[in-house]
Structure 1
Amino acid sequence: MTSDTMPEANACIRVLRPLSWGGALALLALPWVAMRFTDEVAWTGRDFALFGAMLLVACLAFEAALRVARVPAHLLASLLAIGTAFLLVWANLAVGIVDEPEHPANLLFAAVLLVGVIGAAISRLQARGMALTLSAMAALQVVSGAIAVWIASQTPALFVLAFTGLCTAAWLAAAVLYRKAAVAQ
């Protein structure tokens, strides 16, 4: 963290850092605890490893955002974007957005995340570049959802469209927050 970090961002960081890591540990422990009480949850070591890796990536991404954020809007935008990306990966791996997780149309949604990773690298997590990246992700999310509905006739289109709408709204909200952060900096 640099000395030019604004006091509001410092206060947010002091609260958010332990919440993110503690929340990740709690989420990882949740299925383990559930397995003690019900047979409905039956995770394997592979499931825990994959979920742990997803949580680790999310927490490390948030740590990177904490290092460049100068205003609370930047932190909130990062949290929203990382949370949405996590939800997209989790839904795709757990049940598949389109039919089963192995359905080829689900790869369309991976392209949205790839745009996010490339945009974040190019913009070096700076607010103005991240606003453009999240806007591009929102547009690609809509295109991916439309193509997925067209390709997969067996999946209820309403679910794919609703999930696409949810993710698109989150990407756009994060883009607005990044724009606000860029203006404030």
Structure 2
Amino acid sequence: MHGGKAMAGNTENGSGRLGSRWRRALWGTAALLLLAPGVAMQFTEEVAWGPADFALFGAMLFAACGTYELAARVTGNTAYRAAAGVALAAAFILVWLNLAVGIIGSEENPASLMYGGVLAVGLMGALLARFQPQGMARALAGTALAQAVAAVIALIAGWGNALILTGLFVALWLTSAQLFRKAAREQRPAGAAP
């Protein structure tokens, strides 16, 4: 059965002092990110967040950090954890950029909803893979492809040119896929067929 601790091939289990330091760093960074706009508002009028903005950003940070914690608890495999971290960071940035300024035009441009489809591809792939590393590698490669397709559609439709930004996201999705492949190789018992 492939579940829970069976995803091992582990190098560390995340418990003890190292795990505790990583947890503090993760949640501490999230808290600092949440405080940053409040501090910026003291120095510039360019940043004008209301309670709803802070609540949304806080909920997004909580969801991303909580999801990463779940992934870290199911395996001590460093490559799997790194892959999950890269994928979650990419998803977080994609959502935040779309909400804050929009990737295609402004944040109110309905064409930006295509990027919700990109995330749906990744999420559906992860669910179908049951979060196993080899399937996750395929899911993230599919997510990279969906990201590229969304950019091509936007370019052909004349909605703007987000090729550089798309390249960044495709690189993040593919990096995550490669790390999941590494995790799958580490999980495989010695002498098993590739």
Moved over 4 A (4+): 1-5
Would you say the 8 A contact 2:7–2:75 is kept in 1?
Answer: no
1:110 to 109, 116, 119: 116
Shift of 1:89: 0.5
Root-mean-square deviation (CA, aligned residues, Å) is 1.9
The residue correspondences of 1:34-183 to structure 2 (distance < 5 A) are 34-153=40-159, 155=160, 157=161, 160-183=162-185
- The answer to which structure has the higher helix fraction is 1
Conserved 8 A contact 1:94-1:101: yes
Deviation at 1:2, TM superposition (A): 4.5
How far apart, in 2, do the equivalents of 1:117 and 1:58 lie?
Answer: 13
Distance 2:181 2:5 in 1: 21
- Report how far residue 4 of structure 1 moved: 8.2
Q: Which runs of 5+ in 2 are unaligned?
A: 188-194
Distance 1:72 1:15, change over 3 A: farther
Shift in Å, 1:81: 0.5
8 Å Cα contact 2:122/2:139 also seen in 1: yes
Q: 1:102 to 1:83 in 2, by over 3 A?
A: same
Query: Structure 1, residues 69-102: CA drift from partner, whole Å, max 9, x if none?
Result: 2311111111110000111001111000000112
Aligned residues: 181
Residue pair 2:115, 2:147 contacting (<8 A) in 1 also: yes
C-alpha distance in 2 between matches for 1:20 and 1:87: 16
State TM-score, norm by structure 1.
0.90
